[in-house]
């Protein structure tokens, strides 16, 4: 990757600076965890059994714990280590709940945690092709994030995407008692196909139309399927969520009550109601009649 600064019409290339210590990467991440990954910081150097977890975090959107590990040098063992950490978490759930409740102002109840959404994030300046390929399973809760720093205080963080053709971890034939088999049975990574399964073709087409319209609002909007809805995010910030129904789509816009300018009063205020998506406004659609107008409302969340 080439990184430049611009002075009038002249570009000057910034030189990459190596991290001296893994701790430097960890400190940078932990001090900016909410901005970088939208996660709640819980504990640094969390010790459990005979293991030490670099950073323990919590994802309030999925209601799940996230383990973050940092690698300064090339390391081929990230997947094995990630699976071991996921099993460690699933076998010691009470310890994670206790740690959360001892460090956070609002206690967390056991029933509020979605253990199937647990995941491990590895952060490193470099991942080799073997690491990328060995973690490229669509339903494996292990993520690789590249981090690079340059002159002038520039930092670039790039979560490595799994390929669209990524296979399922369940296709690997292993011993039923192996760590990878336990993870495959316990961890669920949702896809758009999961949400579209069993829906009529006209609803699938309707979703594609609204999906593409949202993605076209800005170049860096991405879809991120969750258990109950498909999230649309810009730089890890939710702007809208879609629940695919049998007869239409339920669209949530991530704006707080009275923050959305909706002159046609098309959206419903759900701030006082329990609901799945983010934000205080929703609309149910079964056609594209108000597509452009709804996009003008979604754009307000950017």
The pLDDT of residue 258? 92
The pLDDT of residue 170? 78
The pLDDT of residue 175? 64
Q: What percent of the chain stands above pLDDT 70? A: 96
Beta strands 16-17 and 268-269 are unpaired
Condensed to tens digits (0 to 9), the pLDDT of residues 222-279 reads: 999 999 999 999 988 899 999 999 999 999 999 999 999 999 999 999 988 866 678 8
The pLDDT of residue 168? 86
Q: What percent of the chain stands above pLDDT 90? A: 81
Beta strands 142-150 and 119-124 are parallel
Calpha distance 180→172 (Å, rounded): 9
Neighbours of 50 (CB within 10 A): 6
- Helix spans in the chain (H): 22-31, 33-37, 78-91, 93-103, 129-134, 179-186, 192-196, 201-215, 291-298
Q: Whole-model pTM?
A: 0.88
| 179 has pLDDT over 90 | no
Kindly state the tokens that stand for 211. 């999906």
Calpha distance 88→160 (Å, rounded): 24
Q: Which of 169, 188, 161, 182 is nearest to 64 (CA)?
A: 188
The mean per-residue pLDDT over the stretch 91-117 comes to 96
pLDDT, greater one: 274 or 59: 59
Cβ-based neighbours of 85, under 8 Å, separated by 6 or more: 51, 53, 67, 69, 120
Confidence of residue 76 (pLDDT cuts 50, 70, 90): low
Q: Is 6 helix (H, G, I), strand (E, B) or coil?
A: strand
Q: Where do we find the tokens 């210590």?
A: 21
Total residues belonging to the chain: 302
Q: Which of 181, 192, 193, 77 is nearest to 135 (CA)?
A: 77
* Residue 5: C-alpha distances to residues 23, 72, 121 (Å): 28, 26, 30
Long-range contacts of 6-15 (CB under 8 A, 24+ apart): 14/150, 14/151, 14/152, 14/154, 15/150, 15/151
């Amino acid at each position: 990757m080439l990184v430049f600064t611009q002075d009038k019409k002249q570009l000057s290339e910034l030189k990459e600076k190596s991290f001296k210590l893994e701790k430097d990467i960890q400190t940078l991440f932990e001090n900016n965890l909410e901005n970088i990954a939208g996660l709640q910081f819980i504990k640094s150097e969390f010790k459990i059994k005979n293991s030490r977890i670099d950073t323990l975090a919590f994802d309030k959107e999925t209601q799940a714990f996230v383990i973050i590990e940092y690698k300064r040098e090339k390391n081929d063992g990230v997947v094995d280590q990630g699976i071991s950490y996921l099993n460690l978490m699933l076998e010691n759930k009470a310890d994670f709940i206790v740690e959360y409740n001892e460090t956070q102002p609002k206690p967390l109840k056991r029933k509020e945690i979605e253990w199937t959404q647990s995941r491990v994030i590895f952060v490193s300046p470099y991942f080799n092709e073997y690491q990328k390929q060995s973690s490229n399973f669509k339903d494996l809760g292990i993520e690789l994030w590249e981090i690079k720093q340059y002159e002038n205080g520039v930092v670039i963080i790039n979560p490595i995407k799994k390929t669209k053709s990524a296979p399922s971890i369940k296709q690997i034939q292993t011993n039923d008692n192996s760590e990878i088999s336990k993870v495959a049975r316990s961890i669920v990574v949702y896809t758009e196909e999961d949400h579209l399964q069993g829906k009529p073709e006209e609803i699938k087409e309707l979703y594609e139309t609204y999906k593409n319209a949202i993605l076209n609002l800005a170049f860096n909007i991405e879809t991120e399927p969750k258990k109950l809805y498909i999230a649309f995010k810009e730089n890890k910030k939710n702007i809208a969520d879609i629940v695919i129904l049998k007869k239409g789509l339920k669209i949530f816009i991530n704006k707080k009550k009275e923050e959305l300018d909706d002159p046609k009063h098309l959206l419903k205020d759900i701030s006082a109601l329990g609901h799945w998506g983010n934000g205080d406004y929703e609309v149910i659609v079964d056609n594209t009649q108000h597509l452009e107008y709804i996009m003008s409302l979604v754009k307000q969340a950017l």
